[in-house]
Structure 1
Amino acid sequence: MLGFYLLLAFSPSSGPGRLLDHWLNIRLVFTFPGLVIASVIYSLPFMVNPLLAGFRNLPADLNEASRTLGKSDWTTLIRVLLPCLRAPLVTGAVLSFAHTIGEFGVVMMIGGSIPGVTRVASVAIYDEVQSTHYPEANHYALALLALSFSVLLPVYLINYRHNKSPL
């Protein structure tokens, strides 16, 4: 569903797509940059939730101390709060990446399946299954599974050690 609406929005025949195409000479439909932007939009909730949890867990004293020292809101955010959110930032980025790896709908709608340009593993799996080349589809799927685990496992281990309270 989201892929369809992004396709409509990015299309040169729509308002936003026409604006990008005519004024900025940027075409997002069936291009790699369009695929990246659509994937970021699609995976945004996986980044936002860890960040919200991280902001909620920050002590209010940090913000108050920074303001007491005369720092602006922007300086407080960049120099005080964001460095304290390193773990939630990494967690959100890794979750977003792992979520996007297996995405199919948005990828097909925005990127299509142009070999060497926008063909990604999830689309390759689909193509192999449609062609009844199950061993090849299995290889792609196992590679995606291994990549997802290799990206997620270190993050979960680091978070586990970080959140583990001493007895």
Structure 2
Amino acid sequence: MIDLLKTMEFTPFLLSFKLAFITTLILFFISLPLGWFLSQTNSKFKPILEAITALPIVLPPSVLGFYILWALSANSPIGEFFENTFGVKLVFNFTGLVVASCFYSLPFMVQPLQSGFESINKNMLEASYICGKSKFQTLIKVALPNIKPALITALIVTFAHTVGEFGVVLMVGGSIPGDTKVASVAIYEMVEIMDYSSAHIYSAIMVIISFIVLLSVYIFNGRSNKKFSGVA
């Protein structure tokens, strides 16, 4: 077992963490105003926007991956524009993985933030507006500091969800060593060639990471709830 660990290639894990970190960072800045808007608006189009945002949760990864692959390929207006204008190909490279991951993990960032904003006392927000603060100032200085459990949940779950991606990542990025071959894809290939010993180690690492992530979320939220209720 020790000899096997020494000979194993752990670059796929580094790629997975890199992808998850970049995706989480991008989605935070996208989802913060989106979650805030969804929590405050009474528009009749709100359910439609919420459904579109949550679509990646219910769509099969192969379906979502196919449409993202088509949208980013050189045969689509978007892919053609980026390739002709910037010389950037958006499929079968790390850039394409980031774009695909942002679509796939979007609801895991938006929904906790939206729920957190909706739980804030409306009087607190009204007081901020009365004091002359803009909506942006209210969001950053009043709302955001008061949804720490929801914020931590959104960040951690989005990161973990991105680390565990498979279907969308495989379709959009393929399996290019050192570029798009992330941990989930590496495990799939190990099983294909019946290298079960390596697959067991990779899978065990993923299980441990997932458990630690979820445990951290529950512990943090449990402590936050106790603090909020006044129980030390």
Q: TM-score range by the shorter chain?
A: over 0.9
Q: CA deviation at 1:29?
A: 0.5
CA–CA separation in structure 2 for the residues paired with 1:78 and 1:57: 16
1:52 partnered with 2:108: no
Q: CA deviation at 1:64?
A: 0.7
CA–CA separation in structure 1 for the residues paired with 2:211 and 2:203: 12
Amino acid of the structure 1 residue aligned with 2:107: P
1:17 partnered with 2:79: yes
Matches within 5 A, 1:105-144: 105-144=167-206
What stretches of structure 2 of length at least 5 have no aligned partner?
1-62
CA–CA separation in structure 2 for the residues paired with 1:85 and 1:65: 17
Match of 2:88 in 1: 26
Aligned residue-pair number: 167
Match of 2:58 in 1: none
Amino acid of the structure 1 residue aligned with 2:173: G
Match of 1:92 in 2: 154
What TM-score does the superposition give when structure 1 sets the normalisation length?
Answer: 0.93
Compare 133-142 and 84-93 and name the one that shifted more.
84-93
Q: CA deviation at 1:146?
A: 1.1
What stretches of structure 1 of length at least 5 have no aligned partner?
none
What TM-score does the superposition give when structure 2 sets the normalisation length?
Answer: 0.68
Amino acid of the structure 1 residue aligned with 2:183: A
CA–CA separation in structure 1 for the residues paired with 2:209 and 2:189: 20
1:75 partnered with 2:137: yes
Amino acid of the structure 1 residue aligned with 2:117: F
Seen in structure 2, the aligned counterparts of structure 1 residues 73 and 112 have a Cα distance that, compared at 3 Å, is same
CA–CA separation in structure 2 for the residues paired with 1:15 and 1:35: 19
**SS at 2:105 equivalent:** helix
Q: CA deviation at 1:87?
A: 2.0
1:148 partnered with 2:210: yes
CA–CA separation in structure 2 for the residues paired with 1:73 and 1:24: 36
Seen in structure 2, the aligned counterparts of structure 1 residues 57 and 163 have a Cα distance that, compared at 3 Å, is same
